[in-house]
Structure 1
Amino acid sequence: MITEKAPGKLYIAGEYAVLEQDCPAILVALDQYVKVSITPSKGDTGLIHSKQYSQDSIHWVRRGSKMVIDNRDNPFEYILSAISFTERYCLEQKVKMGVYDLHVNSDLDSADGKKYGLGSSAAVTVATVKAILHFYGVKASKDLIYKLSTISHYSVQGNGSAGDIAASVYGGWIAYQTFDKVWLKEQLASKSLSDVVGEAWPGLKIQTLLPPKGMELLIGWSQQPASTSRLVDKTNANKQVLKTEYMKFLEDSRKCVLKMIKGFEEGKIDLIKHQISVNRRLLQHFAAMNNIAIEIPRLTELIEIANKFGGAAKTSGAGNGDCGIVITDENTDVDRLRKEWLKNKILPLAFHIHQSELTY
């Protein structure tokens, strides 16, 4: 049996702006994983099984009079896409196809099946790509795993930056800028998959960051799940209407995250903490102009409690639920902060940073 795993992630800063080129974000990979095990099948038929996803609900939307299933929240769509693209790549490498059983197990949801918002669709895609490549004995670099996973994920989701894919592949703290999506679409339509993954992708930047000594990450869970893809759909629809305001948001977010990256490079926790607060205000303004709820009351409470005890806090990811993050240092009263969270039905999550291991 071959088992591969991929960690979940949290966004630290740069959400929404990261969907555009030249707008960096900071993410971190966590020690909560999706594990994919693969074994040769005993017969002519293969099996895909998941402990978590067997009873998964499916969302649908109304388009005119038509009922349309939204498969972007269905993890099996990502698994099937990852298998399809990875096998296509293997076939181009003249690898003989086999039949196998795939077993998926995830830490990225709570015990009762609620999502923490750790990027489970990205992690399951990455773990599946890694498992298939390993099964077929195809040597893989992190770059190859990232690109195959991104193509697989994007073909299902249709939006997003693939920052969560990068965090799952490269691990630790990273600064990330997305690629030119129009370019990728054109390349995939005209070239082999092997050629596309072998090319440099315009705009893509992935940089490993080293956190300053004494800086810690604290995570609080609102216990209210959110849907990233639907929030992104809504903001995408407003881009042209709010063009001037949107461009200003992008520029302000870019400046904020670049200063935060400088804080990592120069070991300045105060600079990082200050820019966390700046990014929170930018996201609040972005939410107001798009008429969406990023910072729901439970997350506002989470942030205000963290700030009261010397942390610097904001929402993580698309918001509207899921997690908030806090940057802490020696001046943060973490014990009192956690106790106050619990009193207000905010759950501190005892997760740690995942450090990337060597690729096989």
Structure 2
Amino acid sequence: MSTPPSPSPAAAGRADGASVRIGALVPLTRPGWVEAGRQLLAGLELAVHEVNDAGGIAGQPLELVVRDTAADPRKAAAAVDELAALGVPAVVGEYHSVVARAAAVRADALGLPFLCSSAVLDVLTEQPTQWVARLPPPQSRGWRVYADFLLGAGHSRIAVAAQPSVYWASGTSILRDHLAPRGGTVIELDMSALTPATVCDALVDHGATALLLLVGHPEPAVPIVRSVRRDPRLAKIQIGAPAGQPEFAEWAVSLGDDGAAIPFLRYLPERLSPLGARVETLLRERLGEAPSFVAFEGYDTVAVLAEVLRSQGADRARIAECWPRVAVEGTRGRIQFSRTPGISVWQWARAPIQVVDRDPGRPGRFRILHAG
């Protein structure tokens, strides 16, 4: 008796004709940033719901196959292997940059399209790849915008309290390279050797006027903020968090008034389009709170991939070939991918960037301080 052939990736992606399944990588448990994962998943799920309400993909419902990465690169790589074996035509998601890099490397090796939703590390793959596309701006672009904001606010001696990480080291290098020719100095404070109290002493010793938190949340970011806020020697210092920690409600709950006036990067336009405003309302209902930019990234990810699936079907090679032809109206602008110097993946080059903070008078309200 002959053995029937294995289903093609396109057929398997339809789950035996029942649905078109796409893999989704999301940090849902610690040490992953669970709140970011919840926001990302809410955006993904809302968009899938709307795609299915509009008839799905060629009449087939779209389905998410979600895998928790827990901020672990090894789990992410294993999940990509599993999802590829299941026959999904593409994988989406991930918030943590180092985790997304592991997923991108594995997806590239397997020839599996990966649309990165919310990770900014410039180098997602060592060599240029046709298989990976990304929505958020690369770290080099966003952090240069942040550096310009600091200079414009009069800060030239900038301390970074950093933990060991490829992502934090990359951010420090971007800041230093951008600030040095413009008269700025970056002072590195190694958080593997310092406590929140000794950070305060180091800031005084170095004469820093700004402190950037290149550390995890809630530990040690929250205790560092509390220590600095309570040190009378540092009453005028500017605390910043370019990676976006203050975006999430958990930050405000943990720090209260101490968490206000700490500028961070987010990827939203000054005004949302009608589509963005509608999606914002639906996300707020789904989440029970104001959506973060990460939720919009999740929605836009599925909006893009659904359009590609409608035009190309579930064939992996055809999906990857379609990245440079994408032109989709997302919640934050028209999404198109191109090759960007120094970036190895297909990149949305015009993703919006803002520097914002929580208003000290109304910590639930965000103030736009700078855009780039």
TM-score by length of 1: 0.24
The structure that has the greater radius of gyration is: 2
TM-score by length of 2: 0.24
